[in-house]
Each structure stands twice: as structure tokens, then as C-alpha cells.
Amino acid sequence: MARETMLEERREPLTLRPWLVVGVGLGTLGLVGATLGAVWLFESIAGIQGRGVAPPAAFAPPQLQSDPAGDLRDYLVAQRARLDGYAWADREKGLVRIPVDRAMAMIAARGAAAYEPLDPPPHPGSAPMTRRGLLALLAMLPAAPLRAEEEPGLAPPPDARLPPGLVVRDAAGRVQGMGEVLDGLPAVFAFADYDCAALCGTALGLAAAMLPETGLRPGGDYRLVVLGLDPRDGPGKAAAMRRAWLGEGTALAATAQFLVAEAPVVEASMRALGYRARRRGEGFDHPLALFVLRGDGRLAATLPALGAAPEDLRAALRGAASEAAPGLLARVQLLCEAAASGRGGALRGALAAGGAATLALLGGGLLLLRRRERQGVSPP
């Protein structure tokens, strides 16, 4: 009995204390109100009332391929263009990239010498050749070894003009006059041996690669015209040369004119432009050059076939489209470009004679000054 009485005294009473519950509630409400008041007071002092909450920043989407099949197709097209096109591999070193098929054909044509080095090893102590020197040498080299008694070259006369009345045949066998071929458009004109794939083909391939980079429209702003050097070649060879080096399905290939002509016409064309080529066996000795002609056949500029840049070609074609006749500076530039392209014999001889005379005068002056110093006489 006594034990139960003790337990009853220790239990929590069952009756609630209303004042305690009300006090806890009022205290909670007061704390919440004080907190809200403090926040309001802080926002009022800081001046951030009325500002909305900044939305979360949008993150950039993941860099995923939107068109994998199209990306692969573009990649394969770019790779195929590198394999089948012409371009500079290293302009500073004079290295040219040519199509794989053409390179294989050139190597196979070497026969037993296919595995020999393409270039002979340099001699000990020889100085490296600069890019301009290499390009000038390549422009000077003919398509075959030179004859000892006759040296091909390039020396355009001041008023060089391709006669519009020359009768030629195009790759389809149609007979046309040279004026009809030009059709009043500026033209990039070149002589070529249609059997020469090493130098003539490479020069035409580089021209085909550079012309689109000028930004000019073939057939609208200019025309590419090539005349075969061999009168025995027919339209079939001209068509094969155009197809091999320009391809098919492009505006340049569709508007380019690859021509053949009789021997008197070829000789008259070379004579009009100051171009000299000679037959040697089955090939030709000839310089490599690009002639930029006006719409009436007048010569506007001469560029090296293996060293011209797209911007040079564009400037020359823009100049050829102008009706103004070339002035004195343009004529001097034409002579200099001719020397760089074909190394004209007369101009080269004049430059060599002038250089020798200058050196002789300098040497004589130095000797005279030295002699006066030894004699103790002051120079005037």
C-alpha cells in the first residue's frame, strides 16, 4: 500500500497548465515576428526591397554532334580533296603537293630508277637555296634538257599581243579564232606540252588550285587558255590533259580552253608573246610561265608558273580587266616578271653587264682610295 502511494506521488499530473501552453505559443510568435522585423529592417537599410530573385543562370548545352553523318561526310570530302588536289605543302621551301595517283604514275614511269632518290644529295659545304632562288630556277628549267646551240627563254616585247585572228581547235575539235576563244574576257594563258606530266602538268595543277583562291569567277571574270606546243597533237590529247589536271564538274574545267593548232599558228603565238621553245626528241625545251592577257589579247602581266601566289594572280587579272593601257611602271614590272618567269636572254645579259660594270667601278674606286692613302694624299 505504502509502495503504491509513493508511485502515485512521483507520476506527472494529468491536468494541463494552460498558461504554460499559451506562454510558449506567444513566445514562438514573438520570436517569428522579431525575425521577420529584423529581415525587413535589414532590407530597408540595404535598399534591396522590391528586387526579384535572380533566376538561375542557364548553363551551355553539352558540345555534342548535331549531325554526325554530315560531319563524317565533310571530313571525307576534305581528305579526298587533299589526296586529289594541288596545293603548296611548304611555300617557303618550294614544296608542292600533287595527287596521289599522279605521284604514283610519275614514280612508276621512272622504271628501274623508281627507288633511287628523287633529288641528288647536296654537296658538302653548299649553301641552302632560298625559296625565290628555287622558284626562279624551276621557272628557268625547261621540260627537257636544253640544247647547247639554242636556249629557250621568255622576253615579251613592250606591246606584246596575241593576234585574235589565229586559227585554233578546241578540245572538242571546233575551229575558232583566238579572239573567239578569249571572248573579250581577261585570260590566264599558258603554253604546254600535253605529253609532259612532270613540269607542265604540275604547273597547270597549281594554276587550277590557285585560280579559285582569287575569288574571281571562271567564265565571268576570266578564262583559262592553254595552247599545246606540239602541232601533231589532236583535240583528244587536249581533252585528256584538261581532264587529267582540272578534273570534271567544276566551273573552271567547264570554261577552260585547251587548244591545238598548226605549226605556223603555234610559232606565231610564241613570237607574239616573246616565248621561245624548241623541240628535243619527243618533248620540248620551254620555260614555265603564265601570261595574263586582256580581252583583246594584249599582254598585261607575266607570272612564274611555279611561284605565283593567288593574290598576285588576282591583281594581274584585275589589272587586265581595266581598259587603261599599262604605264611606265607597269612596263618595267612586266619586264621584271618576264625575267623571273623565263629568264629572257637579252634582259639577263643586260643585267649581268650592268652588274659587272658596277662592280668594276666600285673596285676601281677602292683601289684609287687605297693608293692615295699609301701616298699620303687625302681624298678630295
Neighbours of 306 (CB within 10 A): 23
Helix 68-84 and helix 100-108: axis angle, to 10°? Answer: 30
| The three three-digit cell numbers of residue 1, written as one number | 500500500
Cβ-Cβ contacts under 8 Å for 145 (sequence gap 6 or more)? 280, 285
pLDDT band (50, 70, 90) for residue 142: very low
pLDDT band (50, 70, 90) for residue 260: very high
Asked if residue 87 lies in contact with residue 209, where contact means CB atoms within 8 angstroms, the answer is yes
Domain 135-343 CATH (choose: 3.40.50.300, 3.40.190.290, 3.40.30.10, 1.10.3720.10) = 3.40.30.10
Q: b/e for 234-260, b at 16 or more Cβ within 10 A? A: ebebbbebbebbbeeeeebbebbbbbb
pLDDT at 174: 92
Mean pLDDT of the chain, nearest integer: 75
pLDDT at 288: 85
Cβ-Cβ contacts under 8 Å for 82 (sequence gap 6 or more)? 97
pLDDT band (50, 70, 90) for residue 114: low
Instruction: Give percent above pLDDT 90 in the chain.
Output: 21
Specify the pTM: 0.54
Residue 223: pLDDT over 70: yes
**Domain edges within the chain:** 135-343, 353-380
| Mean pLDDT, residues 205-227 taken together | 89
pLDDT at 351: 57
pLDDT band (50, 70, 90) for residue 328: very low
| The three three-digit cell numbers of residue 351, written as one number | 643585267
Comparing CA positions, the residue from 251, 342, 314, 307 lying closest to residue 88 is: 307
Residue 276: pLDDT over 50: yes
Q: Among 84-93, 168-177, 344-353, which stretch is predicted with the lowest mean pLDDT?
A: 344-353
Asked if residue 261 lies in contact with residue 182, where contact means CB atoms within 8 angstroms, the answer is no
Q: Among 20-24, 63-67, 207-211, which stretch is predicted with the lowest mean pLDDT?
A: 63-67
Place of cell 693608293: 371
pLDDT at 140: 45
| The three three-digit cell numbers of residue 332, written as one number | 618595267
pLDDT at 153: 84
